[in-house]
């Protein structure tokens, strides 16, 4: 059975195309949304990648194992993260997106190529409309 890692939401309002890319784990919490958009006023093309990022305070101890009173360490880590956000307004967050196999990567690249063709065709339409108005 072939897994479906990519869902095309199609042409949205005639100026953008949206894809939902699934992670290898198949959890919707790990999914990524790709939006390729044409700005008709400035003829710019944009790629937006939306992904939910999470900051984890559940770091293991120095030996890599959890201890009996780890809830205290986790609470202190959360306080440190809150303090950093309060003082600097930012925190470093990393999130994984796992590709399962070559087919998964090919589907992702196909989405980008389809989006590229869509954007170029929309950009050409807008350019033709503006040249016809002049």
Mean pLDDT of 69-79: 79
What pLDDT is recorded for position 32?
84
Mark whether 1 and 37 lie in a shared domain: yes
Mean pLDDT of 73-89: 86
- Per the CB < 8 A criterion, the answer to whether 96 and 29 are in contact is no
- Model pTM? 0.59
Mark whether 90 and 120 lie in a shared domain: no
pLDDT for 37 beyond 60 = yes
What pLDDT is recorded for position 87?
93
Mark whether 7 and 43 lie in a shared domain: yes
Mark whether 44 and 1 lie in a shared domain: yes
Mark whether 63 and 90 lie in a shared domain: yes
Mark whether 25 and 81 lie in a shared domain: no
pLDDT for 56 beyond 50 = yes
Mark whether 82 and 109 lie in a shared domain: no
- Give the model confidence (pLDDT) of 107-132 as tens digits: 888 888 888 888 888 878 878 887 77
pLDDT for 2 beyond 60 = no
What pLDDT is recorded for position 1?
39
Domain housing 20: 1-52+95-134
Q: Among 20, 40, 38, 39, which residue's Cα sits nearest to residue 30?
A: 20
What pLDDT is recorded for position 3?
59
CB proximity list for 91: less than 8 A, separation 6 or greater? 55, 81, 84, 85
Number of domains composing the chain: 2
């Amino acid at each position: 059975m072939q897994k479906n890692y990519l869902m095309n939401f199609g042409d949205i309002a005639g100026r953008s195309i949206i894809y939902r890319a699934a992670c290898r784990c198949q959890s919707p919490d790990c999914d990524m949304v790709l939006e390729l958009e044409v700005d008709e006023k400035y003829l710019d093309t944009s790629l937006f990648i939306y992904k939910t990022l999470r900051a984890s305070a559940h770091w293991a101890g120095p030996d890599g194992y959890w201890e009996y009173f780890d809830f205290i360490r986790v609470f202190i880590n959360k306080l440190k993260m809150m303090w950093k956000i309060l003082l600097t307004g930012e925190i470093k967050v990393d999130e994984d997106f796992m590709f399962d196999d070559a087919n998964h990567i090919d589907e992702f690249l196909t989405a980008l190529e389809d989006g590229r063709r869509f954007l170029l065709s929309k950009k050409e339409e807008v350019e033709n409309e503006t040249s016809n108005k002049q």
